[in-house]
């Protein structure tokens, strides 16, 4: 099979225990769950609702604070428009951003499905714990590029895998049945180049910042 991202050949990685198979791309380092193993939309929503994504969860709030700290100095503080793409049932991040003085639109395919971002441009687009759920990440990044103002930032959070198949099969993050796509910083470099973007920086763990090509 060809990689859904870079179209190069992939190899199959079998998870015998869970009876799943992944396609592994050596070129862009993407790992994607085979289409035959995707869960239904109802199962996906039920999984999301198991999460404690509220201000009462101190760890959840701290995760967002650390996320923002990583790139906040790179953002022009005079700019005030943001889109939180994939806000989830409790839009905690958007409320944190509003407290910092930004005007924030939110979108979530399940909980806030109205596409408020159409015909708008943003200085900041955030997407946290979303890209691991996507079948076609290039399509979403192309949408982000369309909605991004010049010199704006795209801030993405998703855990990176270490490009080791043995470790991947032991990795807790992939055991969520709704997690279907896994990346390294190199994967996002390939995606960025395909979408007219560039990687500004990453933490080599879970956060990567993109911006438009000059």
The CATH number covering residue 72 comes to 3.40.50.150
> What local confidence, expressed as pLDDT, does residue 51 receive?
64
Percent of the chain with pLDDT over 90: 80
Residue 74's pLDDT is what? 92
Measured CA to CA, the distance from residue 13 to residue 23 in angstroms comes to 6
127-139 average pLDDT score: 97
The residues near 54 (Cβ < 8 Å, ≥ 6 apart) are 60, 90, 92
Please give the model's pTM, rounded to 2 decimal places.
0.94
155 domain residue, yes or no:
yes
For residue range 11-33, list pLDDT tens digits in order.
999 999 889 999 999 999 999 99
The whole-number average pLDDT for the span 130-146 is 97
Whether 9 shows a pLDDT value over 70: the answer reads: yes
Find the domain containing 82 and state its range.
39-160+187-212
Q: Is residue 180 part of a domain?
A: no
In a domain, 15, yes or no: no
pLDDT of residue 50: 67
pLDDT score at 75:
87
Q: Has residue 11 been placed in a domain?
A: no
Residue-level pLDDT at 45: 79
Write the CB contacts of 151 (distance below 8 Å, at least 6 apart in sequence).
76, 211, 212
In this model, does residue 52 exceed pLDDT 60? no
The pLDDT assigned to 182 comes to 98
pLDDT at 41: 82
What mean pLDDT is predicted for residues 130-148? Answer: 97
As a whole number of angstroms, the longest Cα–Cα distance in the chain is 52
* Token pair for 115: 């596409």
Segment holding 99, helix H or strand E: helix 92-99
Non-local (6+) Cβ contacts of 53 within 8 A are: 60, 88, 89, 90, 92
The total of structural domains in the chain comes to 1
Strand pairing of 81-85 and 31-33? unpaired
DSSP alpha helix (H) spans, 108-184: 137-147, 165-170
The answer to the question of residue 98 being in a domain is yes
In a domain, 165, yes or no: no
Q: Residue 214: pLDDT above 90?
A: no
pLDDT of residue 211 exceeding 70, the answer is yes
Position 90 scores a pLDDT of 76
User: What pLDDT is stored for residue 103 in this prediction?
Assistant: 94
156 in a structural domain: yes
Pairwise CA distance, residues 150 & 147, whole Å: 10
Q: Is residue 167 part of a domain?
A: no
Q: For residue range 61-117, what is the model confidence (pLDDT) as tens digits?
A: 899 999 999 999 998 767 689 999 999 887 899 999 999 999 999 999 999 999 999
Token pair of 107, please?
Answer: 């979108």
């Amino acid at each position: 099979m060809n990689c859904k991202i870079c179209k190069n050949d992939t190899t199959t990685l079998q998870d015998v225990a869970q009876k799943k198979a992944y396609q592994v791309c050596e070129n862009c380092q993407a790992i994607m769950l085979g289409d035959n193993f995707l869960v239904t939309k109802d199962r996906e929503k039920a999984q999301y609702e198991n999460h404690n994504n509220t201000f009462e969860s101190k760890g959840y709030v701290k995760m967002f604070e650390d996320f923002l700290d990583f790139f906040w100095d790179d953002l022009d503080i005079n700019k005030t428009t943001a889109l939180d793409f994939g806000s989830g049932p409790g839009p905690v991040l958007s409320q944190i951003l509003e407290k910092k003085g930004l005007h924030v639109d939110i979108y979530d395919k399940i909980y806030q499905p109205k596409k408020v971002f159409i015909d708008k441009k943003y200085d900041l687009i955030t997407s946290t714990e979303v890209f691991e759920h996507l079948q076609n990440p290039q399509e979403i990044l192309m949408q982000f590029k369309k909605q991004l103002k010049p010199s704006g930032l795209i801030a993405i959070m998703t855990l990176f895998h270490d490009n080791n198949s043995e470790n991947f099969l032991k990795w807790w993050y992939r055991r969520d049945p709704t997690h279907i796509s896994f990346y390294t910083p190199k994967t996002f470099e390939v995606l960025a180049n395909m979408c007219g973007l560039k990687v500004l920086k990453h933490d080599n763990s879970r956060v990567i910042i993109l911006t438009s090509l000059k």
